[in-house]
Amino acid sequence: MKHAPSLDDLELFALVGQAGGLAPVSRQRGVSVPTLSRRMRALEGQLGWQLFERGPQGYRLTARGRALLDETEGLRAEARRVRQLAAEPAPVEVRITAGSWTSAYLAAQLPRFWQVQAGWRPSFLEASARLDIARRGADIGIRNQRPQQSWLAGRRTARISYAEYALSDSVQGYVALREGAVETPSSAWVRAQHGEDITVTASTPRMLADLACTGAGRVVLPRFAALLFPVLQQVSPEIGALAHEEWLVSHHEARHDPPLRAALDSLAAVLTDPDLRRGLVAPD
């Protein structure tokens, strides 16, 4: 045997053997009868076996042919599986941009709003700065205000409230983002109201919360985000100056695409669930 036979040729051989002729396989696989005939002859030459008895009644398997048919069942089953996978459309990537705490919340709730078999695949883009949905920098944005542009569509999901958190109410001082980091409204509020009391700075909101968990100071968090840190307790009233609406935003035309529509509906379900987001005030 000069060369190992191809899986495709073995599959065609099995189809011809099961059909008892070339014509049915030609119609099924879109391969001409002369081509099938040549490939079966070539396969016999490669193996050094006569696989068929050819006659007026068609192609009948020889003993060698029947043995080969039995031996190749596993290979043929694998070929069918691969062909089925190739025929299935790949899930559409949906890019979702949100701030640090909303991104963390969505990551924690992922099994509630997405499964592998869904027709879309989430791609999370954590960003304090807004990505341009109109220019397709992202497909879905979770924003802190209603979209003003006519080409954007929005759905209000909640009103988000903030408070100070620490290991206990005896903790003094505050943690805040370092100068030069992308500023957030909560960190800006800390600097404006308690600038002289800042004890430690860091480059990300997540690190601020981690520092607060060590007792380094108080941290200002969205109340739903504080649920990620069970050791922290609320040590201030709600901070009214930081409360804001939350909006689920997408391009007004693209939102009708089935994958994007499915993603929007799934995200809305977890963003509006008050049992999942304690501290969230449902919209009127």
Last residue of a domain, one of 52, 87, 122: 87
Question: 251 and 145, same structural domain?
Answer: yes
Query: Do 251 and 151 meet the contact criterion of CB atoms below 8 Å apart?
Result: yes
**Which tens digits make up the pLDDT trace of 149-178?**
888 899 999 999 999 999 999 999 999 999
**80 and 13 within one domain:** yes
pLDDT at 221 over 80: yes
What is residue 134's predicted lDDT score, i.e. its pLDDT? 53
With a cut of 90, say whether residue 247 has pLDDT above it: yes
pLDDT tens-place string over residues 168-211: 999 999 999 998 777 889 999 999 999 999 999 999 999 999 99
Whether pTM > 0.85 for this model: the answer is: no
The length of the chain, given as a count of residues: 284
Residue 50, pLDDT score: 94
The pairing of strands 120-126 and 58-61 is unpaired
Tens digit of each residue's pLDDT (9 = 90 or more) over 3-57: 678 888 998 999 999 999 999 999 988 999 999 999 999 999 999 999 999 988 8
* Same domain for 142 and 128: yes
Instruction: Say if residue 77 is in the same domain as residue 11.
Output: yes
Residue-wise pLDDT tens digits, 65-116: 999 998 888 877 777 777 776 666 778 899 999 999 999 999 989 999 999 8
Using a pLDDT cut of 90, give the percent of the chain over it. 63
Count Cβ neighbours within 10 Å for each residue of 26-60 and write b for 16 or more, e otherwise.
beeeebeeeebeebbeebbeebeeebbeeeeeebe
- What is the span of the domain harbouring residue 216? 162-240
DSSP 3-state percent helix, strand, coil across the chain (nearest 5): 40, 25, 35
User: For position 282, what pLDDT does the model report?
Assistant: 42
The per-residue pLDDT for 237 is 97
Same domain, 111 and 219: no
124 and 54 fall within a common domain: no
| pLDDT tens profile 224-236 | 999 899 999 999 9
Confidence of residue 133 (pLDDT cuts 50, 70, 90): low
Q: What's the total number of domains in the chain?
A: 3
Distance of CA 272 to the CA centre of its chain: 20
Question: Which pLDDT does position 67 carry in this prediction?
Answer: 93
Distance between CA atoms of residues 178 and 189, nearest Å: 13
Q: Are residues 259 and 153 in the same domain?
A: yes
CATH of the domain at 180: 3.40.190.10
Query: What is residue 1's three-state secondary structure?
Result: coil
Q: Are residues 22 and 61 in the same domain?
A: yes
Residues 251 and 155 in one domain: yes
Average pLDDT of the residues of the chain: 88
- Give the DSSP per-residue string, 112-146: HH--TTSSEEEEEEE-SSPP-TTTTS-SEEEESS-
Say if CB 282 and CB 273 are below 8 A apart: no
Asked whether residue 1 is domain-assigned, the answer is no
Q: What is the pLDDT of residue 210?
A: 97
